[in-house]
Amino acid sequence: MMKQNHISELRLAIIGLISMQPQSGYSLRKFFSTTPMGRFSSSPGAIYPALKRLEEEGWIAGAIDNADSLRPKKVYSLTEEGTRALHLELTKAVTREDIIWNLDGLILRFPFIEQLGLSEVLRFLTQFEEEVSRYIPTLENYLDGVSEEITLCGRLAMQQGIDGYRGMARWARHAIEEISTHRPDPTQGEN
């Protein structure tokens, strides 16, 4: 079935955000509840246990802020091990299984990959575009094969899925272009 070869979306979102800037449970909750990234959970009942587990596993380390005050805050940073784990996850090859079972996780990975450099981003997008484009004919063939026996709405629902994948491939191509032509900022030069 091959559904779970990856870390959960919540874990990825948490360590990804922490990698950009140290975060407390509360700041994560706030971010999730005020941005469209809230699609990846929220509620304290998910976040605090997840943070605890990540700390137990040594991926993140919490430092108490305002230790003396009456309202202390626990701010987590990535450990070296956590950084390694995150980078490993972000650079994993994009597989058809991901395309089918873990699309949201894939899109979630994307913004965090930027830290690894634009070449990594391009590698990801290229793989993504290729896997998606390769999957579409499979779906089309299936649809062709059953179009006699399927109901009208069944066909339309499948069409929706195919259109969705087509849109993603298009998006990836567009993103590749935008990133490729992204000014290496000639006024600064990089030598």
Partner DNA sequence: CGATACATGTAACCGGTTACATGATTTT
Partner DNA sequence: AAAATCATGTAACCGGTTACATGTATCG
Task: Say which entry of a copy of itself, DNA, none residue 154 contacts (CB below 5 to 8 A, set by partner kind).
Answer: a copy of itself
The answer to whether 2 and 97 have CB atoms below 8 angstroms apart is yes
How many angstroms from the chain centroid is the CA of residue 179?
18
Site for DNA in 113-152 (CB under 7 A): none
The CB-of-13 to DNA minimum distance in angstroms stands at: 10
Locus of tokens 């805050």: 73
User: Residue 91, Cβ neighbours under 10 Å: how many?
Assistant: 13
Provide CB contacts within 8 A for 44, sequence distance 6+.
25, 29
Paired with 63 in beta bridges are 75
Task: Say which entry of DNA, a copy of itself, none residue 48 contacts (CB below 5 to 8 A, set by partner kind).
Answer: DNA
Site string for DNA, 37-66 (x = CB under 7 A): ----xxxxxx-xxxxxx-------------
The CB-of-17 to DNA minimum distance in angstroms stands at: 13
Give whichever of 69 and 151 is closer to DNA, judged by the CB atom: 69
Locus of tokens 């059953």: 146
DSSP state of 37: G
Give whichever of 66 and 159 is closer to DNA, judged by the CB atom: 66
| Region binding a copy of itself by CB under 8 A among candidate stretches 54-62, 63-71, 78-86, 163-171 | 163-171
- CA pair distance 118, 110, nearest whole angstrom: 11
Using CB under 7 A, list all residues that contact DNA: 1-5, 8-11, 24-27, 29-30, 41-46, 48-53, 69-75
